[in-house]
Chain A
Amino acid sequence: MDISNLDLNVWRGDAKGGEVVSYRVPVREGMVVLDAVLWVQANMASDLAVRWNCKAAKCGSCAAEVDGFPRLMCKTPIAEYGGQVSVGPMKAFPVVKDLVTDVSWNYEVNKQIPPFTPSDKDLSSSEPWRMQQKDVERSMEFRKCIECFLCQDVCHVLRAHDLKNAFYGPRFMVRIASLEMHPKDVLDRRSLLKGKAGIGFCNVTKCCTEVCPEHIHITDNAIIPLKERMDDEYFDPVRSIVRRLGGKDRKPPP
């Protein structure tokens, strides 16, 4: 086995502040950043706070910034870096301690999104539903999301401008897309998208797509189609002319 050492520079601290602490870690073949962090926890700093569960990129718990880039630590091989690597908490969320951040805002947002709503007819039918694979595939892409919140972390609307009160962020655009594109869902969430969810804040820089460990095409397949749907409703020039010419929702003259 190839034994050499890694200098793991970990941001340690809490809401009041912190500093980078360096730990020398023996490297094992195939080691990922999370292994190094857990080695430090077991051998050098038992109170090093970190979230992790599955260690197989399926639960999305171990999101952090590795050399400044938002990644899952369990999926980031040490071999990609030289003799040293730095790890810090996600910057878009308040720090609790060390690598652990307060992501509770995301859970609050999720509660505000109206859940899956099938038609009364489908709901009352005693027959199992029939859907073709082609019909469900669109929604499936979005349902791969493991809620690591890396896309939220990298989104400049949330990260640089802290507009959490105005924009739900990419994760929840994906969530809404998974519902809107579910073949059996009949609810219209467009007013939510335009209003509270703030889809207009997204200016399609695609940073979220780049960091998604599940390779969901967040911008191209979720956000842009949702923007188009919303535009059909609110900003379609033809509909707008129809409205002006005396459509039923004609605005009163000024």
Chain B
Amino acid sequence: MSDAAYETVETDVLVLGAGGSGLRGAIAAAEAGARVLIVCKSLLGKAHTVMAEGGVAAAMHNVAYQDSWEVHFADTMKGGKLINDWRMAEIHAKESPERVLELERWGAVFDRTWQGRIHQRPFGAHTYPRLAHIGDRTGLELIRTLQDRAVHTAGIDVHMEVTVFKLLKSGRRIAGALAYRRSDGSLILYRCAALVLASGGAGKMYRVTSNSWESTGDGTALAYEAGAELRDMEMVQFHPTGMVWPAGVRGILVTEGVRGEGGVLRNKEGERFMERYDHERMELSSRDVVARAINSEVAAGRGTPHGGAFLDITHRKPEFIKAKLPSMYEQFLKLADVDITKQPMEVAPTIHYAMGGVRVDAETGASTVPGLYAAGEVASGLHGANRLGGNSLSDLLVFGKRAGESAGAWSKTHLKAAVAPIDLAEIDAAIADLKAPLDRPAGENPYKLQAEIQDVMTKHAPIVRDAAGLEEGLAKILELGTRVKTCGAGGSHALAFNPGWHTAYDLRSMLVNAEALLRSALARTESRGAHARSDYPKTDDQLTAVNFIVKKSPAGMQVRAEQRPPMPDYLADAVHRSYAHYTPEETE
């Protein structure tokens, strides 16, 4: 390989991902005076944020005057079963109202209250109606607003349909990244002083998921390979309500807004079973509780014909449903031939979100690698063991801005990083590695391998886990790891838009995420939030102050337990007050 093998592009801040956190981060970095380049795997405006339906959580108390940042903070901590980074949860609860109002000033159009304020809807495990929303397409509004703001902000450029496959360092610091253009397979060497990971989650390692082809955990894998620490990787969220039928749409999200607007869950016997799992909050319990409840009902033989639960909102007026849940109405009518104003929906849990991810500093979004930042789903800490609905969009805005600002400021003081020497041999090796599957026509088919990874994770890291299953899953993932090293691209040598070749690379990211999940899940010998173990069904108080940290070492992937500093009194009080007033069943 020679220099001519790739084009070199220089910038101050490189942002990976053009969802909510990437766009908000890019805007913040540009406002801090940095030249910003956004790189995304799809077209601009198609990132996963667009799928978010229900709303953005912010204690603006437009609907419930009693709401405050303290209650939002307590709800978030309780939802996360107290292993959240409490400082992130505090910042998030305090700053999200400001971020929502800012979005409105950038042109977002929210649903209104009769007083003309931004309307807020109730959502699972939020004490008060708190989700600012636009019907059930809040994510689209958010991404379009940020997209337009970003393209009209000087200093921001976008490279669409480009995949980054390696982060480059100069010494300990981030100095750039290697990427390929999906359209023609040509290579780009990005040089930058700071890099913001905003690349989303890894849902694609499961078979039934609400995530798209993009969610292969690239960000966590890139950070891990660059030596950054990952945290809480065992915590992946099953959204309780994904479509189950027909088979072709299995896993597609049914917004929690359905339950927020009054939808009830029933088993095949017509029983409103949430009564037995969370008598207080019923359908609006936290997602981990509702997902396990549906799972248990199906396991006990009380599931629907297609193995799920009925979600029924037919008691609401048709006009109400069409106004509040227009895209759900359309989705079921078109894809399942079900009129949700007349018939119940069939739903079952679907992999939705990674609470774990890159370990970041609460204030700045900095990872443990200097110059490398992370925000949004690829980062970890805010959501702990379980994310509340609506806290993701606010997460993107609050921490996207903070990470972008910090990266912008860092780039100003480390301008030389973008021209610092980097290891050319490392670049050549990475490129050779990327292209190798194209020259292995007889190598295994990447789609087959992807399906095998999905089968392993679905079978061995399901909603309820145990040591034997996790061990077996880990052994299989490690074995798949050796096979992926010699896999092909599916038979075609084409550099131009070759999804088989692209998948061959994505597999490696998925394997890092899968291994980290399984190892961390083995280490957490208790049940907590999204992580349920049949062999350790109780929550272990000793582990409340513990996060599991994943790091690359010469001997392979290492997992260690790390103690978290205790909450200061004023935050601990907010949580205790909340436990005293609401959800008594959780104090057990």
Binding site for B on A (CB under 8 A): 1, 14, 28-32, 35, 41-43, 45-61, 75, 77, 96-98, 100, 103-104, 107, 110-111, 115-116, 118, 122-123, 128-133, 136, 139-140, 143-144, 146-147, 179, 182, 185
Contact = CB atoms under 8 A, between A and B. Distances in A.
Interface stretch (B120-128, B365-373, B485-493): B485-493
A47 B212 contact: no
B416 to A, nearest CB: 32
Given A30-B247, A48-B499, A115-B152, A55 B252 contact: yes
A58 B248 contact: no
Given A28-B246, A61-B46, A146-B140, A129 B104 contact: yes
19 contacts: A28-B246, A28-B248, A30-B245, A32-B248, A41-B499, A46-B501, A49-B499, A53-B50, A53-B214, A58-B50, A58-B327, A59-B50, A60-B46, A96-B497, A107-B160, A115-B149, A129-B104, A130-B116, A143-B144
Contacts of A48: 499
A77 B337 CA distance: 10
Contacts of A128: 60, 101, 104, 117-118
Interface residues of B, number: 69
B498 A111 contact: no
A132 B112 contact: yes
Contacts of B50: 53-54, 58-59, 146
B295 to A, nearest CB: 23
Interface in B249-294: 249, 252-253
B330 interface: yes
Nearest to A60: B46
A133 B111 CA distance: 6
A221 to B, nearest CB: 15
B322 to A, nearest CB: 12
Nearest to B330: A57
A182 B213 CA distance: 35
A139 B141 CA distance: 12
Nearest to A215: B330
B575 to A, nearest CB: 28
B445 interface: yes
B1 interface: no
Contact of B489 (A42, A46, A53, A147): A46
Given A50-B499, A59-B50, A136-B109, A43 B248 contact: no
A47 B51 contact: no
B509 to A, nearest CB: 17
A47 B498 contact: yes
Contacts of A182: 107, 109
A78 B106 CA distance: 41
Contact of B51 (A32, A58, A143, A147): A58
Interface string B223-253: 0000000000000000000000111110011
Interface stretch (B37-45, B82-90, B169-177, B310-318): B37-45
B475 interface: no
Contacts of B47: 53
Contact of A46 (B109, B110, B141, B500): B500
A103 B46 CA distance: 13
User: What are the nearest 5 A-B pairs in CB distance?
Assistant: A30-B246, A46-B490, A46-B500, A116-B107, A130-B116
A54 B134 CA distance: 19
A146 B326 CA distance: 14
Interface in B39-69: 42-48, 50-51, 60
Interface in B116-156: 116-118, 134-135, 137, 139-141, 144, 148-149, 151-152
Contacts of A100: 183, 497
B447 A46 contact: yes
Nearest to A35: B248
B335 interface: yes
A143 to B, nearest CB: 6
A56 B253 contact: yes
Given A35-B248, A100-B497, A53 B213 contact: yes
A115 B137 contact: no
B334 interface: yes
B447 A43 contact: yes
Given A30-B336, A47-B492, A53-B46, 17 more contacts: A1-B247, A30-B247, A31-B246, A42-B448, A46-B490, A56-B51, A56-B331, A77-B334, A97-B183, A100-B183, A111-B152, A128-B101, A129-B105, A130-B116, A132-B112, A140-B109, A182-B107
Chain A CB count within 10 A is highest, among B101, B448, B490, for B490
A93 B426 CA distance: 39
B203 interface: no
A137 B197 CA distance: 36
Contact of B494 (A30, A47, A185): A47
Contacts of B214: 53
B496 interface: yes
A97 B497 contact: yes
A98 to B, nearest CB: 7
Contacts of A49: 496-499
A185 to B, nearest CB: 8
B64 to A, nearest CB: 16
A243 B336 CA distance: 60
